[in-house]
Amino acid sequence: MKSPPTPRPRRALQGAPAPAARSGASRNPASAPAGRGEAATVESTVGNTPLVRLQRMGASGRGNVLLAKLEGNNPGGSVKDRPALSMIRRAQERGEIQPGDRLIEATSGNTGIALAMIAAMRGFRMTLIMPDNLSAERRAPMRAYGAELILTPASMGGMEYARDLAQQMQARGEGKVLDQFANPDNPRAHYETTGPELWRDTQGAITHFVSSMGTTGTIMGVSRFLKEKNARIQIIGAQPAEGSQIPGIRKWADAYLPKIYDASRVDRIEYVTQTEAENMARRMAAEEGIFGGISSGGALAIALRIAAEAERAVIVFVVCDRGDRYLSTNVFG
């Protein structure tokens, strides 16, 4: 596939200090305040995650900058805190739900944890439906936040079966499905927060954005915002290669393709194998000190491909969650 032309980055970032660890933080550690002050609620700590420049990986002498967006620093531990808060808050503001109601969602892990956290804070009952072959580290936090967890046999169809069951429960009047796959408040969260953060923290110099594709909420919302700022910014989606199973990255059958997905918002799709994703997740921890999940390793693999072909590019990839959610999979030894 012939690569699209690399957008010319604004020169402000070239040779400049690495982006601040968190928006609003001093670039000079010596002048940083002693503390961050009190946060009004846990919800108020969602977003404004660090954007970190890689120091060892991707140093090819081509003048590129690779930046990792550390979404594991959200209070619930993943990028899914953003849409979870957006979906519940917006539905509550519209009067569609009220404290005490039961919410239902099919999840592969991170969205469920995030929804359970927000539901606990706002007084909702939460039922989560999850295939039983997913890591135990993702189940425990859901239960800790008080959610009811329904495990479905993976042999029945995995996430597709879980999604169907959620809709059946709603039809029986057992609660309201938030439906991250069709809910516009999912990409809206990234249009209103993640995209603006990336534009601000790169000083408008971002040329490429790489994200894994599951519900596609992250890539849809960020793409919409960044393209409004600079239509030449390249949006690259990561999908699993044939035969690969990577938590957090999915290639859906047409019948289950997320309704929020708009193919016109993605310039390029790159495929990554499970082995590549796992190897990169291990390297990211060992060489950069970033302990990200397996899908984050997949996004990094693709970011490095882009860095090998581009010059003077500012490439941002999303570290969707933390590696400690995958310890039982033995990916990290």
Question: Which residues are known to be catalytic?
Answer: 80, 295
Cβ–Cβ < 8 Å for 258, 305: no
* Backbone φ/ψ region at 67: left (φ over 0), alpha (ψ -120 to 50), beta: beta
How far does CA 3 lie from the centroid of its chain?
25
**CB-count burial class (<10 Å; 0-12, 13-18, 19+) for 15:** exposed
**Residue 118: in which H helix or E strand, if any?**
helix 110-122
N-to-C CA span, the chain:
35
d(CA 295, CA 1): 23
| β-pair partners for 239 | 271
Kindly tell me the sign of the dihedral angle through the C-alpha atoms of 178, 182, 188, 190. positive
The label of the residue with tokens 């194998």 reads 273
